[in-house]
């Protein structure tokens, strides 16, 4: 209706104002000049009309809401689960899988009918709600764009539970039976992932009102080469020489030869070429000479889909000297076992008489956690020190510990799996008098006898108390007498004490690399009592970690892979490495067929139908532009 | 003789016109001897030249003294003083009523000034409006004492539509066969063209001055918007939307008209002068017309 109306209006000429002129002669001639027989001039004459018609046509077209391909998204509640685990950083989809997934979700959001609500959840090994249910698309888009990649592993279950918890409101139990807290509303659950997670067992999860749709991201034939392990340890001969072990895995169907480079403190120290069989792994060993503490970086010089796992990090550090306090009225046999060359490498052992237990000096030192281990030989403090403890022949002055004197117990069992009992076989030893222990609940019995437990370990806050229920020597009137033949000619006694020192001072064999998985919390230690530590992240950010009430430092921001520097008042105190080391994430071949969620087999929706593209906004913009142009032309015409 | 002052002839203008006289480049024979020294040699008291006697010459002009001295017959020639026929044609079509002062007023003033010069020098002055036949043709005037009659006549002239331009000129030529100076004051805004009319004038062997007067509003029209232009003469209407291109075209058309008229005139020995109504008449007479040789 409108275009003909415009034409009619256009031809209903406007009422012109009559003006008398001396002669129309010149004007006519001018107007005729203006109307020379050229199409352009004719067009010009009608240009305004044409432009007006164009504006109206564009507006009508925009009202018709033209678009192509794709359809509207049916339903009115959606949950978008976006996988942002390490494997989603793979670049087999340009620019990467996560970006692709985000793009898809943005398209889905565009397809949503107005008024429908959606929720965005990003998940890796944990799930987090990026945006609660809302019908505000701008918020949804922002939430999707905020989701960045992580180096974590994948677990779908947490995300599903989060989605289900919000989509299926819980029930409360009343006397009459279950009552719905709120109406459960059905929702469509979109899982955008490369499927690198375990199927969700039916006993763990039920979908309820959720209708799942699996949108696989990534290709199922993407090869990748990854470092799946990196460790180093001192060679047995000397502490100065170290060996670095690495395992490289090939997740492709072709054999690959990759150059492997080892950097020590960011300087190239060794390199080798490693051939990895298809779908197999190869090991490589580097010898590192005279390595003091520092950082190791192993790099595969290889271009593949996932760059995150082509590097691995490790830390070499000499453990700080531990402080051990030996409180005894006199026990040379134990003392000699504590001051061996081997022990001196990692611990300083001090000696103290039981009388000094009551001095303020000791109380203060014990309360401030200066010692890593305190050994009480036939004595016990009034208050437990802030340290691990070994009680010999006594029990701690704490609730829960009970003991009963027994004579000549026969050892019948040891817990060989416990590190303290590693390589210790106190089978044929004789014991005079002993305490049959009744440790508090939650304790581990390490040596059991026919009369009761002889050795037990029990955790106390951040510490552990180890109790040996029999004396090694007994003070009698005529000097010291052995209470057991354990120290005599048997290697298991010094081994036991060495194990105790290793275990309770937290030293261990320093071949462990302190590798942490991304996202895992780390407990940091401080050599000195302090309230805060500073951690320098691999990208140079600094974060202050405050001590919790137990005096431990919990650090959670281990999202990036690399070396983390733990500093105390500016000095590097220790380091730890965060590595991906996950075969499931490094194996980037995407799962495109189907996934199992509870009882439901969810087929992968490989045929992607892109969002319906609509152009009415652009049409309106063009119409506006034409309108402006028309105004300009008109203005140019009437301007003098 | 005191001159009656009129709005057409302010006293200061009269004072400046007193010393002027009309000049013609052509030789005309007046009906009466006027106060002008014509290019013709003739009978007057002012000696001009001698020439040899040829039979038939008036014996009264033989210089007997020379005959006595040289024994040859010479004829004395005298500068003939003659009067000049001076016509002023004022375009009285309706289009002349435009402008401030109107082109017609300006034309009357100019005609008065020129007429005064002619009368003051004893020329034969005739002012004729080019209008309908109903308007009485102007009286033939001679002598300074008739200045008031001239101004009186001019004052009562009005613009009105009438016969076509060419027809008017033709009528004028038929009525006034004698030769002389013609000053045509017109705006040349004639739909049917001015060429035919001017051709009649040139055929008369008159000394023609075409004074093309245009109002400022015509040169730079100050109008805008969507207009219906109405021709004041024939009520013809033209719908225009004033715009810069249209105004440019108008300027070009106007320039074309002026240039065309100038060329037309110069080809036929006419003197073309373009004037604006804002130009003062005294400047027009004392500078431009004098510069073009109409005055001396």
Residues in chain A: 640
Quick one: A493 and A348 in the same domain? yes
* A269 within some domain: yes
- Two tokens, residue B153: 């006549």
* A509 within some domain: no
How far off is chain B from A615, nearest CA to CA, in Å?
37
Quick one: A388 and A489 in the same domain? yes
- According to DSSP, the β-strands at B207-214 and B181-186 are parallel
Quick one: A201 and A92 in the same domain? yes
A146 touches chain B (CB under 8 A): no
Residue B1: the pLDDT is 41
End position of a domain, from candidates A504, A534, A562: A504
Q: Give the separation between CA A221 and CA A591, rounded to whole angstroms.
A: 9
Residue B30: the pLDDT is 47
Give A-chain residues touching B257 at CB under 8 angstroms. 26
Residue A487: the pLDDT is 86
Residue A261: the pLDDT is 92
Q: Give the separation between CA A339 and CA A347, rounded to whole angstroms.
A: 9
* A513 within some domain: no
Give A-chain residues touching B232 at CB under 8 angstroms. 20-23
Quick one: A460 and A492 in the same domain? yes
CA angle at A17 for the pair A13 and A23, rounded to the nearest 5°:
110
Residue B295: the pLDDT is 76
Give B-chain residues touching A26 at CB under 8 angstroms. 189, 218, 250, 253-254, 257
Quick one: A620 and A601 in the same domain? no
Model pLDDT for residues B96-145, shown as the tens digit of each residue: 888 888 899 999 999 999 888 888 877 888 888 887 666 677 788 888 88
Segment A196-205 mean pLDDT: 77
Inspect the interface and report whether the beta carbons of A638 and B231 lie closer than 8 Å: no
Domains of chain B: 11-19+83-291 (3.40.50.410), 36-82 (no CATH)
On the question of pLDDT at A613 being above 70, the answer is no
Nearest to A638 among B189, B190, B225 (CB): B225
Nearest to A638 among B224, B229, B253 (CB): B224
DSSP letter string, A592-615 = -SEEEETTEEEEB--S--PPPEE-
Nearest to B124 by CA among B151, B87, B177, B155: B87
Inspect the interface and report whether the beta carbons of B223 and A19 lie closer than 8 Å: yes
Quick one: A330 and A439 in the same domain? yes
Residue A71: the pLDDT is 60
Inspect the interface and report whether the beta carbons of B227 and A17 lie closer than 8 Å: yes
- According to DSSP, the β-strands at A594-597 and A553-555 are unpaired
Quick one: A477 and A347 in the same domain? yes
Q: Give the separation between CA A575 and CA A314, rounded to whole angstroms.
A: 9
Nearest to B253 among A26, A638, A639 (CB): A26
Inspect the interface and report whether the beta carbons of A640 and B228 lie closer than 8 Å: no
- What contacts A175, CB < 8 A, 6 or more positions away? none
Higher pLDDT, A622 or A604: A622
DSSP-assigned letter for residue B204: T
pLDDT classification of B192: cutoffs 50, 70, 90: confident
pLDDT classification of B167: cutoffs 50, 70, 90: confident
Residue B174: the pLDDT is 85
Interface test with B, best of A10, A21, A632, A636 (most B CBs within 10 A): A21
Quick one: A359 and A410 in the same domain? yes
Q: Give the separation between CA A123 and CA A378, rounded to whole angstroms.
A: 55
* A227 within some domain: no
* A408 within some domain: yes
From chain A residues 2-21, the ones with a CB under 8 A of any chain B CB are: 13-14, 16-21
* A404 within some domain: yes
Give A-chain residues touching B231 at CB under 8 angstroms. 20-21, 23-25
Write the CATH number for A308: 2.60.40.10
> A211 lies in which domain range?
77-172+181-221+591-614
pLDDT classification of A390: cutoffs 50, 70, 90: very high
Beta partners for B227?
A17, B240
Give B-chain residues touching A16 at CB under 8 angstroms. 226-228, 239
Segment A505-515 mean pLDDT: 59
Q: Give the separation between CA B17 and CA B290, rounded to whole angstroms.
A: 11
On the question of pLDDT at B263 being above 90, the answer is yes
pLDDT classification of B2: cutoffs 50, 70, 90: very low
* A161 within some domain: yes
Model pLDDT for residues A332-359, shown as the tens digit of each residue: 888 888 888 888 878 889 998 888 888 8
On the question of pLDDT at B48 being above 60, the answer is yes
Residue A639: the pLDDT is 60
Give A-chain residues touching B233 at CB under 8 angstroms. 23
Q: How many domains does chain A have?
A: 5
B235 touches chain A (CB under 8 A): no
Q: How many helices (H) and strands (E) does chain B have?
A: 10, 10
Beta strands per DSSP E along A358-477: 373-377, 388-392, 402-407, 411-414, 433-438, 444-449, 452-460, 463-468, 473-476
Write the CATH number for A460: 3.40.50.880
Segment A572-598 mean pLDDT: 83
On the question of pLDDT at B56 being above 80, the answer is yes
Give A-chain residues touching B95 at CB under 8 angstroms. 22-23
Q: Which of A82-86, A492-496, A606-610 has the lowest mean pLDDT?
A: A606-610
Interface test with B, best of A22, A32, A47, A637 (most B CBs within 10 A): A22
Q: Give the separation between CA B25 and CA B19, rounded to whole angstroms.
A: 19
Segment B62-91 mean pLDDT: 82
Nearest to B218 among A22, A30, A34 (CB): A22
Is B13 within 8 Å of B281 (Cβ atoms)? Answer: yes
CB pairs under 8 A between A and B: 98
pLDDT classification of A518: cutoffs 50, 70, 90: confident
What pTM was computed for the model?
A: 0.50
On the question of pLDDT at B3 being above 60, the answer is no
Q: Most confidently modeled of A198-202, A452-456, B288-292?
A: A452-456
Quick one: A302 and A274 in the same domain? yes
* A191 within some domain: yes
Q: Most confidently modeled of A35-39, A523-527, B279-283?
A: B279-283
Q: Give the separation between CA B254 and CA B241, rounded to whole angstroms.
A: 18
Q: Give the separation between CA A429 and CA A486, rounded to whole angstroms.
A: 6
Quick one: A449 and A465 in the same domain? yes
- Predicted complex ipTM exceeds 0.85: no
Half-sphere exposure of B135 (CA within 13 A, CB side): 25
On the question of pLDDT at B226 being above 60, the answer is yes
On the question of pLDDT at A638 being above 70, the answer is no
Give A-chain residues touching B247 at CB under 8 angstroms. 640
Higher pLDDT, A504 or B226: A504
Quick one: A15 and A126 in the same domain? no
CA–CA distances in Å: residue B53 to residues A172, A358, B50: 154, 175, 9
On the question of pLDDT at B41 being above 70, the answer is no
Residue A37: the pLDDT is 46
CA angle at A631 for the pair A629 and A632, rounded to the nearest 5°:
60
- Helices in chain B by DSSP H: which ranges? 11-17, 64-70, 103-120, 147-155, 165-175, 195-203, 216-219, 244-267, 281-283, 290-291
Quick one: A471 and A344 in the same domain? yes
Residue A74: the pLDDT is 65
Residues in chain B: 296
Segment B7-13 mean pLDDT: 81
Average pLDDT, chain B: 81
Q: Give the separation between CA A463 and CA A456, rounded to whole angstroms.
A: 14
From chain B residues 203-232, the ones with a CB under 8 A of any chain A CB are: 215, 218, 221, 223-232
Average pLDDT, chain A: 82
Write the CATH number for A82: 3.40.50.410
Please say whether the dihedral angle defined by the alpha carbons of residues B38, B41, B43 and B46, taken in this order, is positive or negative.
Answer: positive
Q: How many CB atoms lie within 10 A of CB B13?
A: 19
Nearest to A639 among B189, B240, B244 (CB): B244
Model pLDDT for residues A280-333, shown as the tens digit of each residue: 888 888 888 766 678 889 999 888 888 888 999 988 876 677 889 999 888 888
């Amino acid at each position: 209706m409108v275009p003909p109306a415009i034409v009619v209006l256009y031809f209903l000429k406007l009422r012109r104002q009559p003006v008398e002129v001396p002669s129309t002669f010149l004007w006519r001639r001018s107007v005729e000049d203006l109307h020379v027989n050229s199409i352009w001039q004719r067009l010009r004459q009608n240009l305004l009309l044409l432009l007006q018609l164009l504006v109206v046509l564009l507006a009508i077209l925009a009202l018709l809401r033209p678009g192509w391909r794709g359809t509207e998204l049916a339903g009115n509640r959606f949950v978008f689960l976006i996988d942002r685990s390490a494997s989603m950083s793979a670049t087999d989809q340009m620019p990467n899988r996560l970006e692709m997934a985000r793009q898809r979700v943005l398209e889905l959001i565009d397809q949503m009918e107005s008024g429908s609500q959606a929720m965005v959840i990003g998940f890796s090994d944990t799930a987090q709600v990026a945006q609660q249910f809302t019908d505000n698309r701008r918020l949804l888009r922002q939430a999707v764009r905020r989701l960045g990649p992580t180096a974590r592993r994948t677990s779908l279950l947490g995300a599903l539970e989060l989605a289900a918890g919000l989509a299926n409101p819980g029930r409360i139990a009343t006397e009459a039976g279950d009552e719905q807290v709120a109406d459960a509303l059905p929702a469509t659950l979109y899982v955008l992932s490369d499927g690198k997670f375990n199927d969700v067992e039916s006993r763990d999860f039920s979908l309820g009102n959720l209708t799942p749709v699996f949108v696989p991201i990534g290709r199922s034939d993407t090869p990748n080469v990854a470092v799946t392990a990196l460790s180093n340890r001192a060679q047995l001969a000397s502490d100065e020489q170290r060996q670095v072990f690495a395992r490289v895995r090939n997740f492709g169907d072709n054999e690959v030869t990759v150059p492997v480079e080892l950097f020590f403190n960011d300087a190239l120290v060794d390199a080798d070429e490693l051939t990895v069989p298809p779908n197999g792994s190869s090991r490589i060993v580097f010898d590192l000479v005279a390595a003091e503490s520092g950082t190791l970086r192993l790099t595969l010089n290889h271009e593949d889909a996932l760059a995150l796992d082509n590097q691995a990090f490790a830390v070499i550090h000499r453990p700080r000297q531990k402080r051990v306090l030996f409180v005894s009225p006199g026990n040379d046999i134990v003392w000699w076992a504590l001051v061996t060359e081997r022990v001196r490498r990692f611990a300083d052992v001090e000696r103290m008489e039981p009388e000094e237990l009551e001095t303020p000096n000791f109380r203060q030192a014990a309360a401030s956690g200066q010692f890593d281990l305190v050994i009480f030989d036939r004595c016990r403090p009034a208050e437990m020190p802030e340290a691990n403890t070994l009680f010999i022949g006594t029990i701690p002055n704490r609730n829960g510990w009970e003991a009963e004197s027994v004579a000549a117990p026969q050892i019948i069992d040891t817990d060989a799996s416990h590190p303290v009992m590693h390589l210790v076989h106190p089978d044929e030893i004789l014991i005079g008098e002993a305490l049959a222990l009744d440790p508090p609940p939650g304790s581990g019995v390490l040596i059991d006898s026919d009369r009761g437990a002889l050795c037990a370990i029990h955790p106390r806050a951040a510490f552990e108390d180890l109790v040996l229920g029999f004396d090694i020597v007994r003070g009698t009137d005529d000097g010291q007498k052995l209470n057991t033949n354990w120290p005599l000619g048997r290697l298991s006694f010094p081994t036991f004490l060495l194990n105790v020192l290793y275990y309770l001072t937290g030293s261990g064999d320093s071949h462990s690399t302190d590798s942490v998985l991304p996202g895992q919390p780390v407990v940091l230690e401080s050599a000195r009592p302090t309230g805060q530590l500073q951690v320098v992240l691999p990208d140079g950010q600094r974060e202050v970690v405050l001590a919790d009430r137990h005096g431990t430092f919990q650090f959670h921001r281990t999202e990036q892979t690399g070396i983390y520097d733990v500093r105390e008042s500016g000095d590097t105190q220790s380091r730890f490495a965060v590595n991906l080391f996950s075969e499931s994430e490094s194996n980037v071949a995407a799962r495109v067929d189907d996934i199992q969620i509870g009882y439901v087999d969810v087929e992968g929706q490989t045929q992607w139908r892109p969002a319906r593209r609509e152009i009415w906004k652009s049409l309106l913009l063009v119409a506006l532009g034409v309108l402006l142009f028309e105004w300009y032309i008109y203005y140019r015409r009437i301007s003098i | 003789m005191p001159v009656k002052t009129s709005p057409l002839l302010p006293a200061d203008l009269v004072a400046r016109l007193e010393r002027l006289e009309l000049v013609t480049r052509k030789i005309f024979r007046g009906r009466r001897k006027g106060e002008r020294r014509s290019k013709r040699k003739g009978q007057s008291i002012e000696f001009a030249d001698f020439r040899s006697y040829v039979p038939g010459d008036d014996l009264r002009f033989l210089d007997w003294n020379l005959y006595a001295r040289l024994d040859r017959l010479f004829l004395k020639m005298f500068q003939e003083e003659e009067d000049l026929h001076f016509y002023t044609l004022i375009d009285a079509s309706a289009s002349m009523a435009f402008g401030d002062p109107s082109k017609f007023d300006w034309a009357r003033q100019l005609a008065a000034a020129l007429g005064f010069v002619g009368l003051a020098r004893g020329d034969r002055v005739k002012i004729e409006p080019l209008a309908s036949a109903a308007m009485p043709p102007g009286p033939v005037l001679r002598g300074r004492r008739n200045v008031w009659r001239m101004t009186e006549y001019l004052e009562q002239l009005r613009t009105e539509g009438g016969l076509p331009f060419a027809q008017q000129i033709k009528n004028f030529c038929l009525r006034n066969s004698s030769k002389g100076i013609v000053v045509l004051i017109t705006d040349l805004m004639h739909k049917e063209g001015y060429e035919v009319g001017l051709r009649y004038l040139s055929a008369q062997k008159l000394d023609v001055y075409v004074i093309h007067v245009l109002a400022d509003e015509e040169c730079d029209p100050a109008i805008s918007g969507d207009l219906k232009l109405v021709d004041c003469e024939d009520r013809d209407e033209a719908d225009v939307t004033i715009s810069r291109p249209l105004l440019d075209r108008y300027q070009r058309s106007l320039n074309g008209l002026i240039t065309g008229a100038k060329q037309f005139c110069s080809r036929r020995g006419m003197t073309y002068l373009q004037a604006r109504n804002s130009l003062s008449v005294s400047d027009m007479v004392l500078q431009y017309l004098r510069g073009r040789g109409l005055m001396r």
